[in-house]
Amino acid sequence: MGHGTIDWGEGWLLGGQWAGYSRMIALLVCLAIAPQGAVGQTRIKDVTDVEGVRINQLVGYGIIAGLNGTGDRLSNSVFTRESLIGMLERLGVNTRDQAARLDTKDVAAVMVTATMPPFVKSGELIDVSVAALGDATNLTGGTLLVTSLLGADGEVHAVAQGPVATGAIAARGAAQSITRGVPTSGRIANGATVEKEVPFELARMSTPRLGLRNPDLTTAMRIAAAVNREIGSGVAKASDPRTVALDLKGRDVVESLSRIEQLTVEPDNGAKVVIDEASGIIVMGANVTISTVAVAQGNLTIRVTETPVASQPAPFSNGRTKLLPRTNIAVDDQSDRRLGIINRAVTLQELVRNMNSLGVGPRDMISILQAIKAAGALQADLEVR
């Protein structure tokens, strides 16, 4: 009996071990065949827009009051003076006969702008921005008076009013002043009330179209394929690099678009290099490549140094002290620079390493990239801003 018990125990132990191994092998197999998290996958809603669903720009002209002597000078800003007189007349105060005596620097004329989001309804609040028109120096602490905001159709779509926040700091003394930020422009959070909405019925669009924010034919085809797999064959078709047409007849448009925008695709972007010459910024895409090319870079630097010397006359000679010019000119043509080889780069990391091997700064790198593009060795679009 004891021997049989030991056999059963060993069998149980072996069975437990094999059961554990079996579970581990099954887990590894599941991990191996499970769909991996796709690198670079992006939701369709983040790379496309539904055509027709757009923002609307609003603009208006208004007056800011309550400034602490930092507003427009009425003698210089005629439009501010006339606006102030007209506003006071509408409020029952007649100052036109005394217009020449108006002398205040506590008001400023401003342009008021706002962006009305899609599907916004009457009564909702939106942010507005204000910018000085005249010679006001600071809008901090002022209050925008009731201002109508017009759309492109000439209709009043919102009315703005409220205290202005500039986020700037300005201080002035007798001999020095300091300014941080831009005190002549500001924002009013929730400063406008929507009065008239722009009608748009998404639910009635049986054939909506998706517009790619970065047009690319490969990305458009991938979006169409993903939509057809999820919604049904023949629903989506890429008509050009920017547009994917949808056929949602007989389907709930809002529900279908909600499902579509959650699908993920991997955007395919063309090779591109963006250069901002003003700030010296260079941005390269992942697909940028450079063919093998030799580069030599050098600058001609001329330094002119003036060190005048005072010439003193002899004692009791009735002479005068004179400054004698002494000029030193040095020329550095960087003749020690040699040709450098930039090897063909397949990945962005290799490209950055090869470019850094030249040992030049961003400003010189911009000129080098432009020259490489002109030589036909830069396999990418070069956009200079």
pLDDT per residue as tens digits for the range 113-130: 999 999 999 999 999 999
Q: How far apart are CA 289 and CA 272, in angstroms?
A: 10
Q: Is residue 131 situated within a structural domain?
A: yes
How large is the average pLDDT for residues 354-382?
78
In a domain, 7, yes or no: no
Placement of tokens 């757009």 in the chain: 54
| Whether residue 141 is found in the same domain as residue 104 | yes
Domain closes at, from 139, 160, 194: 194
- pLDDT confidence of 223, banded at 50, 70, 90? very high
Q: Is there a single domain that holds both residue 292 and residue 260?
A: no
Q: Which of 194, 228, 257 is the last residue of a domain?
A: 194
118 plus 208 within the same structural domain:
no
Residue 15 has pLDDT above 60, yes or no: no
Q: Which helix (H) or strand (E) holds 246?
A: strand 243-246
Residues 164, 106 share a domain:
yes
157 and 114 in one domain?
Answer: yes
Q: What is the pTM of this model?
A: 0.67
Confidence at 94, pLDDT banded by 50, 70, 90: confident
Q: How distant, in Å, are the alpha carbons of 29, 297, 348, 384 from that of 273?
A: 43, 20, 12, 8
Q: If you ran DSSP here, which 8-state letter would residue 34 be given?
A: S
pLDDT tens digit string along 231-254?
989 999 999 999 999 999 989 999
First-last CA distance in the chain: 91
**Residues 277, 240 share a domain:** no
Are both 289 and 259 inside the same structural domain? no
Query: Do residues 244 and 238 lie in contact, with contact meaning Cβ atoms separated by under 8 Å?
Result: yes
Spatial separation of the C-alpha atoms in residues 24 and 33, rounded to whole Å: 14
The residue with tokens 């149980």 is 12
Does the residue 23 lie in any domain? no
Residue 283 sits in the same domain as residue 242: no
- CA–CA gap between residue 310 and residue 294 (Å, rounded): 52
Q: What is the percent of the chain where pLDDT is above 90?
A: 42
Q: Helices 217-230 and 253-261 sit at what angle, rounded to 10 degrees? A: 120
- Half-sphere exposure for 322 (CA within 13 Å, toward CB): 8
Show the CA angle centred on residue 361, arms to residues 343 and 357, nearest 5°.
25
Whether 133 and 223 map to the same domain: the answer is no
pLDDT digits (tens, 9 = 90+) for 127-176: 999 999 999 999 999 999 999 999 999 999 999 999 999 988 877 777 77
Count the neighbouring beta carbons within 10 Å of the beta carbon of residue 378: 21
In a domain, 70, yes or no: yes
Any domain includes 40: no
pLDDT cut 70: percent of the chain above it: 79
Average pLDDT on 22-35 reads 44
Look at residue 358 in the predicted model and tell me its pLDDT. 66
Q: How confident is the model at residue 361 (pLDDT cuts 50, 70, 90)?
A: confident
Judge if 261 and 288 occupy the same domain: no
Asked if residue 165 and residue 290 are part of one domain, the reply reads no
Give the Cβ contact number of residue 257 at 10 Å: 23
| Structural domain contains residue 162 | yes
Is pLDDT larger for residue 85 or for residue 320? 85
Task: Tell me the range of 51-65, 261-275, 360-374 where mean pLDDT is highest.
Answer: 51-65
Q: Give a yes or no: residue 155 inside a domain.
A: yes
Mean pLDDT of the chain: 81
Residue whose C-alpha is closest to residue 256's, from 221, 211, 206: 206
User: Over 70: is that where the pLDDT of 24 sits?
Assistant: no
CA distance 140 to 104: 17
Does 107 have pLDDT greater than 50? Answer: yes
How many structural domains comprise the chain? 3
| Whether 188 and 82 share a structural domain | yes
pLDDT score for 383: 85
C-alpha span between 178 and 218 (Å, rounded)? 53
Asked whether residue 24 is assigned to any structural domain, the reply reads no
Contact 158, 75 (CB under 8 A): no
Q: Domain range for residue 260?
A: 202-265
